[in-house]
Amino acid sequence: MYLDDIAAYVPQTEQEAADKELMLDYIRRFPENILTRENRIAHLTSSGFVVNRDCTKVLMAHHNIYKVWAWTGGHADGEGDLLSVALREAREETGAASVRPLSTAIASLDILPVWGHVKRGRWVSSHQHLNVSYLLVAEEGDALHFREGENTGVAWLPADRLLELTCEWEMDEVYTKLLERARALL
């Protein structure tokens, strides 16, 4: 399922075209563990870029590892339905019960570096996330809660100040294109 979805994705930028080609090559080389962290060099992840109904706010979590406001998402951990992974992670990381797809189509493909860090008392070496992104929407009135051990806060950030508040220059291009694509759908 994920291989067909990624193969069918039509890149909208040169970066996405290059990342798609590399992702497909890696998936084909390592089909036995591409969906798990057992592949310690690169593995599939899925993220949800969660906006409110009028796309004026973005739901973000303050992540423990990098100490920045960031989108929701996580490891596939064997799950081939990457939209389900994005939805599950968004709900678990924010508590927002109304999270649903703005579109079921892949919104972006990005190879994202993950620098070495300690997680749950163990060293995790630097590696790559072969990330599949989806556009999600949620109600601002949902009760929010952070996911202990993973993040320390959850908030609706104003979309017009998103890059200023996330403070993660490496993600600026990804967040900008996803915000533009969400606005185009609303």
CATH of the domain at 41: 3.90.79.10
Number of domains in the chain: 1
Its domain, for residue 14, covers 2-185
Cα–Cα distance measured from residue 127 to residue 135, given in angstroms and rounded to the nearest whole number = 25
Across the strands, what pairs with 21?
none
**pLDDT > 70 in the chain, percent:** 100
The residue-averaged pLDDT of 111-125 equals 90
Position 117 scores a pLDDT of 86
- Residue 169 has which token pair? 């220059």
Name the pTM for this structure: 0.95
User: Helices (H), strands (E): how many in the chain?
Assistant: 5, 10
The residue-averaged pLDDT of 97-107 equals 97
Q: What is the DSSP letter of 40?
A: S
Position 83 scores a pLDDT of 98
Question: Who wins on pLDDT, 50 or 121?
Answer: 50
